Amino acid sequence: MDCTYADKVVRPDESSATFRSAVGHSDWRVELDKSSRPGEIKYNTSLSLMAAKLSYENKAFIETIVKDHWNVSISANTT
């Protein structure tokens, strides 16, 4: 039996909006808790946990989650 590999190893693009860190692969959830609203303790807790998890991801991935899943606009503070 011939068990050789002729193909090259393909490395993922770490700057891609779909690239996930090891933390991202351990917990795939990206949606905020829909049963709570801004200002509620449960919402703030959920947002804090998701933001902590996202801190391990790259900029493109974070922007995609915040804009497309959380429906929040990101404004850069230049001061």
Task: Tell me if 56 sits within 8 A of 24, measured CB to CB.
Answer: yes
Task: Tell me if 64 sits within 8 A of 17, measured CB to CB.
Answer: yes
For the entire predicted model, the pTM comes to 0.74
The token duo for 24 is 């991202």
Task: Tell me if 38 sits within 8 A of 32, measured CB to CB.
Answer: no
Domain extents in the chain: 22-69
Q: What is the pLDDT of residues 38-74, one digit of tens each?
A: 889 998 999 899 999 999 999 999 999 999 998 888 7
Task: Tell me if 63 sits within 8 A of 15, measured CB to CB.
Answer: no
C-alpha 70/C-alpha 79 separation (Å) is: 25
The token duo for 73 is 């606009």
Per-residue pLDDT for 78 more than 70? no
